[in-house]
Chain A
Amino acid sequence: MTDFNTIIEAIDSSLNSMMPHSAAVLVECILAAVCAIGAYLVFAIIMIYMERKVCAAFQCRVGPDRVGKWGILQVFSDVFKMLIKEIIDIKNSDRILYNLAPFLVVMSSLITFSCLPFARGLQVLDFNIGIFFIMAASSFGILGILLAGWSSNNKFSMIGAIRSGGQMISYELSMGLSILTLVVLSGSMQISELVEDQTRGWFIFRGHIPAVIAFIMYIISGNAETNRAPFDLPEAESELTAGFHTEYSGMGFGLFYVAEFMNMFIIAGIASTIFLGGWAPFYISGLDGFNEAMCWIPGIVWFLGKTFFVIWLLMWIRWTFPRLRIDQVLVLEWKYMVPIGLLNLLIMTICVVMGWTF
């Protein structure tokens, strides 16, 4: 399996030999940022196209097929359309916050995105409390949504923002609990170590029952965190027209749109990292030939394969379920998910202490 650490070290040493150390760090930072933003956009494009095609398949439709072969240029024409749209100034809106809000949302998802381990060594941010960092970074996206609703001077936006605040803060709890369950299993919070640990078996298999419960909880709360159906109350188009982003036009809306898709990618990426082994290949102890064959498949393929599988699961849910009501959303979280999550954490701790894991 390729180790990207060697390539990155080679680039680092060659840059250091060409220029002073501080300049080399600067160049590396710029390179990393460009790569991250590039990958961010590429994945966003792939996912928007995928969403349209998957949705079409669920609804007995063809989906986009006019722009380019199989409609693959559809996303580009959409972006072009958004770019040429007028950016509308809202009367009595808080100009600064209104314009800042979409960037906050994108920033939070971009920072979280850079924590994802695409392959061994292919990761922008990696340090000993990586999991905490991911949770912290992803949660300040709520700020952007709240500000968007608050500053738009629109009652629908305001209701959407309040809903989203209540919903996302609640579901962060059960999301944190389900991630903690896996941290208990692995004993580490560093993302690279988490994945390295899974080269001898994915956590969802090693942690068996509590891990599966945690996975299901994670998928539910991840869905709620990304504001997608059945938890799309903040935008609930049939109730609040478009919720918190009603007043945004052009790229302001585009940024929210991209951020929503990338948040879904991040949720799926984290799920595949901590539950499904990230870039770690499928491993069955004892079958050495099989394991070796699996290792021939590059890590990045494993990671993206698992991530897109989880994304597909999320889309399946999105295009099947009706929307919940706000009181049902909160009842589900506080009466069911949190107690189950706490109990599950306890079960996992007992399993680990008693050595009942694989």
Chain B
Amino acid sequence: MMEVTFVEIEEFRSTMIHLHRKGMDFLREMIGMDWNEEGLGAIYILENSDTHECTEIAVRTTDRENPELPSVSDLWMVAEFYEREVFDFYGIRFTGHHDLRRLFLRKDWVGHPLRKDYDTSEEINPIRMESEPVEEFSREYDIKDDKELAEKVEKLKILHYDQYTVNIGPQHPATHGVLHFHLSLEGEEVRKVDIHCGYIHRGIEKLCESRTYPQTLAFTDRLDYLSAHQNRHALCMCIENAMGLEVTERVQYIRTIMDELQRIDSHLLMYSCMAMDMGAITGFIYGFREREKILDIMEEVTGGRLIQNYNVIGGVQADITPGFAQKVKEYCNDQKKRIREYYDVFVNNVIFTNRAKGVGVLTRNDAISFGATGGTGRASGWACDVRKRHPYAMYGKVDFKEIIHTGGDSYDRLLVRLEEIMQSIHIIEQLIDNIPEGDFRTKTKPIIKLPEGRFTASVEGSRGEFGVFIESRGDKTPYRMKFRPTGLPLIAAAHKIMKGCKIADLITIGASLDYVIPDIDR
């Protein structure tokens, strides 16, 4: 249960500035909300990056026609993107935000879909057959003296027509999905970057509001498909905590092992794709050779290779197979030897080190301000691992090291991932022989209803903190369900560190940040 402090609009800005000064430098989550007659607003979850102490602040406005809230994008850099998302889905205008465009939906979209009074009829938003017009201007809203909203329209600097602009994406081999970088080039050098998201936005959060809790589980595997287990783990954990359901120790063991296997799988893919993006296709194949073995193990246990649907409320879908422990141990022993080959063929190669060292440096302060958790944050020297910060499942009881590098460049981001593979193997080895007997699934009622309130849970996904927020009104469907994307903060950070690099560096940075698009476009 989460306790939220509501703040008046007039005091909101000063409260936030005060909290920021007090060391609440990490904006974990920003959740747009529609409380019907109580108004529109947002919940901010803040954390102190040193003491890991959290505060939840909420603010709301009753004006449904022209809702406006003060922007905090100058305090936390990631808020720039979060506020654009809230503007897109709720139509709340953030005064002081200097580039308030829609983040996911098309410019010509009518209405704001996550509002409760949104009209879903097809006449309003038909399937448009023409291409999306590229926005030339960005908007900024300011409050005039007489409380009237003034609209400032500024020319977006990326689209000066005398510049050489290039579109990397939405169909491009190095964006690993449908992301769109709009670049302005000077020779090989990138002058300005504008990132367009939303090409595969499926409105999962909206869909969840009309699904029962067990039905919402299916969406989590389709967010960041490379941390399917962790995502589902977070949602199950959140619902179980809200219900007051205890899962057996066996389930905790199985979930932890599967999470770590998934993490190795994802990090191997990150290494492989980075190798391929840099033109070292042999390195890519080496990584995939081992990843295939994990997928085989997962297929045997869960029946799926990418979309696994394994965790359920109260436990897991099916018990582990008899040969599971043996196979995992064989795999771990093999992986420990093979990881040497990655260093030999790719990581220690002089061409690669020259291309990756010092490229795309993200400082620690920027990483925190952008909320860039996961390997990216840890490469910048920020100890942001949820497994250490707020231990869950078995993580409090196993011994493992949080890998931290201080360079903050692309090279360190890769090293963090490779060393984390070894730590994950270490965790698995501690657990695999001691899986206790017990039920693999606690029986639940056929219809699950959560008590009224707000609930959160977060886990360490493969590429950062993955959080779930549920606001329940006591029904069998959530009133609001929000997933903290692991990729959106990375994209926000990419926006900044990509400026001034070469085209080839842009690809390196993109590969090292290791974002997954379905996670950004929920």
Contact = CB atoms under 8 A, between A and B. Distances in A.
A323 B345 contact: no
B282 A320 contact: yes
A352 interface: no
Contact of B351 (A60, A155, A321): A321
Given A59-B282, A319-B281, 14 more contacts: A55-B281, A156-B166, A159-B188, A230-B279, A238-B174, A238-B276, A241-B172, A321-B279, A322-B349, A322-B355, A325-B502, A326-B502, A327-B502, A328-B355
B352 interface: yes
Nearest to B279: A323
B507 A322 contact: no
B352 A59 contact: no
B155 interface: no
B285 A325 contact: no
Given A59-B285, A229-B279, A238 B349 contact: no
Contacts of A326: 188, 502, 504
Contacts of B185: 159
A322 B174 contact: no
A313 to B, nearest CB: 16
Given A229-B279, A238-B174, A239-B174, A322 B351 contact: yes
Nearest to A319: B282
A226 to B, nearest CB: 15
A236 interface: yes
Given A61-B285, A155-B164, A322 B275 contact: yes
A239 B279 CA distance: 10
Contact of A239 (B289, B346, B504): B504
Main secondary structure of the interface of B (DSSP, over half): helix
B277 interface: yes
A12 B352 CA distance: 56
A235 to B, nearest CB: 10
Given A238-B276, A327-B502, A322 B352 contact: yes
A61 B355 CA distance: 28
A229 B164 CA distance: 27
Given A239-B503, A327-B502, A328-B355, A322 B166 contact: no
B173 interface: yes
Nearest to B273: A238
Task: Kindly name the residue among A156, A163, A241, A323 whose own CB sees the greatest number of chain B CB atoms within 10 A.
Answer: A323
Nearest to B285: A59
Contacts, number: 79
A230 B277 contact: no
Interface string B269-287: 0000001111111110110
B326 interface: no
Contacts of A155: 164, 166
B354 interface: yes
A260 interface: no
Given A229-B279, A239-B503, A324 B351 contact: yes
A240 B504 CA distance: 9
A89 interface: no
12 contacts: A60-B286, A155-B166, A232-B279, A238-B278, A240-B503, A241-B173, A319-B282, A322-B275, A322-B355, A323-B278, A326-B504, A328-B351
Interface of B: 164, 166, 172-174, 185, 188, 275-283, 285-286, 289, 345-346, 349, 351-352, 354-355, 502-507
Contacts of A76: none
Interface in A293-330: 319-328
B280 A322 contact: yes
A10 to B, nearest CB: 50
A65 interface: no
A320 B503 contact: no
Nearest to B505: A325
Nearest to B352: A322
A253 B503 CA distance: 24
Nearest to B288: A59
Nearest to A237: B173
Main secondary structure of the interface of A (DSSP, over half): loop
Interface string A58-69: 111100000000
A324 B502 contact: no
B280 A321 contact: yes
Interface string A205-240: 000000000000000000000000110110011111
Nearest to A155: B166
Contacts of B346: 322
Task: Kindly name the residue among B282, B346, B349, B355 whose own CB sees the greatest number of chain A CB atoms within 10 A.
Answer: B282
Contact of B278 (A163, A240, A241, A322): A322
A51 to B, nearest CB: 12
A229 B351 CA distance: 12
B364 to A, nearest CB: 26
Contact of B349 (A58, A239, A321): A321
Contacts of B276: 238
Interface in A308-358: 319-328
B355 A60 contact: no
Contacts of A230: 279, 351
Contacts of B166: 155-156, 159
A8 B274 CA distance: 55
Given A60-B285, A328-B355, A238 B279 contact: yes
Contacts of A232: 279
Nearest to A56: B285
A75 to B, nearest CB: 20
A55 B285 CA distance: 11
Nearest to A326: B188
Query: Top 3 A-B pairs ranked by shortest CB distance?
Result: A323-B279, A322-B280, A322-B278
A322 B502 contact: no
B356 to A, nearest CB: 9
Contacts of B188: 159, 163, 326-327
Contacts of B281: 55, 59, 319
B134 to A, nearest CB: 15
Given A241-B172, A321-B349, A327-B502, A236 B354 contact: no
A230 B279 CA distance: 8
Contacts of B164: 155
Interface in A50-87: 55, 58-61
B173 A238 contact: yes
B486 to A, nearest CB: 23
Contacts of B173: 237-238, 241
A228 B345 CA distance: 18
B282 A236 contact: no
Contacts of A237: 173
Contacts of B352: 322
